[in-house]
Structures are given as C-alpha cells and as structure tokens.
Amino acid sequence: MPKPLSPVLIVGARSDIARALARRYAALGCDVILAARGADGLAADKADLETRYPIKAATAECDLLSVDPDAFLAGLGVVPGTVVMVAGLLGDQDISAATDGEAGKVMESNYTAPARLLLAAARIMQPGSAIVGISSVAGDRGRASNYIYGSAKAGFSAFLSGLRNSLTKKGIHVLTVKPGFVATSMTAGMKLPPAITGQPEAVAADIIKAQTKGKDVIYTLWMWRWIMLIVRSIPEGVFKKLSL
C-alpha cells in the first residue's frame, strides 16, 4: 500500500473526522499540519500525535471565511503533499432559510471557501500529490430538510469532479468523499439510525484506503452508495411529496 505524500495538511482539524484522520496519517509516518480557526486549541492534538508517532506535527490558524488562500499556503513554509478539506458547517435549515446571513455562511463554508483554498493548493502541489475533499451524500439530491447545506455540498462535489479532471494530467489525485450519517459532535443530539451511521475512525479508515488505492469517489459507510442511488431514482413528482 503506497504511503500518502507528506506532509498532510488537514483543514478543519478540530472536527472528529479530522482528528481520526490525523491519527491515521501519522500512523503511516506522515508529518501532519493541523489547520483550523482557533488553532491554539489544537496544541494538545499536536503534542499527542508527536508523542504517539515518530512524526512532526504543526498547527496553523485558518479561518476559511476570511483567509487569503495563497498567503496562508505560503505561510506554511512547505508545500503539502496531501491536502484534506474537512471543514464545513451543517447549520440549521430553518434558520438559514429565514436569514440571509446564515444561509450565506452555510453556503460559503461548504463550497466557495473550501474550493478557493483547494484551487490555491492545486497551483503549487507537485505530481504524486493528493487532494481529498469531504463532501456529503446531502449533495446528491436536494431535500426539503437540508437543501441549503445540500446545495453547497452539491456544488463542492461538482467542483471536485472538475478539479480531478483538470489535475489528472498533472499527476495529482483528487478524491471526493461522501459521508452519510456520522456520529460526531456536529450531529450530537440528532436521532441517527445506528445501522447506517458511521464512526469517525471507520470513516477515516475508508478515506485512507481510498486514497492509497487511487479511488475517485467513495461513499462512507459503503451502503450509502446504494441508498443514494435509490433516492436519486425516485421520480420528481413522487419525491416532492415525501418528507425527506
């Protein structure tokens, strides 16, 4: 199994999935850069990684909604071998639908801001590098319960598809990850069906496996590929009558 190219820049490093990924990459011997808003709070994560694994870890302040992507990457002092975009914002559908500012924050956090940083990364990354974008099954079809978040993830998935097509000839791998339900702090309090709800460690394992195998798009947990195939196949006349 080929080792991911180091260092690994994880954007949105405060999330549960990001922390699980950091441990997985470190276990493979990759140096890790943990980037997030309020990066001072990642000092314990940095220390833990360096204690457990023979790697170097660093933290970097990165507020996606205000950062200059090119300046941020230049400030790292090293060109990442792998960039993982985990950052995102679920938001509240009802509040977002009623408030322009909240809708804009959800849309920007899940699409335009992550895409701009990945574009900047693509401009400097070398052949053999990899970009991993965490999208969502919510982007596969607009549903009344989360169409603002879902539409942003749909845009992000389309962006990653185009980026992959563009960078293939340059030898840069782009992986799109579409998680379904995952038990994280972001979904705490939600009633999630256990049989189709993943844990951060399982999602991280799926991502690492897919990257090392050169996959283009994965669903995690695996059954979400078939769940969303069914959802996409429902005729629109029927779909709009459903409470989804």
- The residues annotated with a catalytic role in the active site are 149
Please classify residue 21 by burial: count the beta carbons closer than 10 Å to its beta carbon, then call 0-12 exposed, 13-18 middle and 19+ buried.
buried
What tokens appear for 229 in the block? Answer: 């195939």
Phi, psi of 183 (to 5 degrees): -80, 95
Of 15, 49, 68, 77, the C-alpha closest to 203 is: 15
In one letter, which amino acid is 204?
A
What tokens appear for 10 in the block? Answer: 């994880």
Q: What is the dihedral of CA 154, 160, 163, 167, to 10 degrees?
A: -160
State how far the Cα of 234 lies from the Cα of 116, in Å rounded to an integer.
33
Phi, psi of 87 (to 5 degrees): -60, 145
The answer, yes or no, to whether the previous bond of 7 is cis (omega within 30 of 0) is: yes
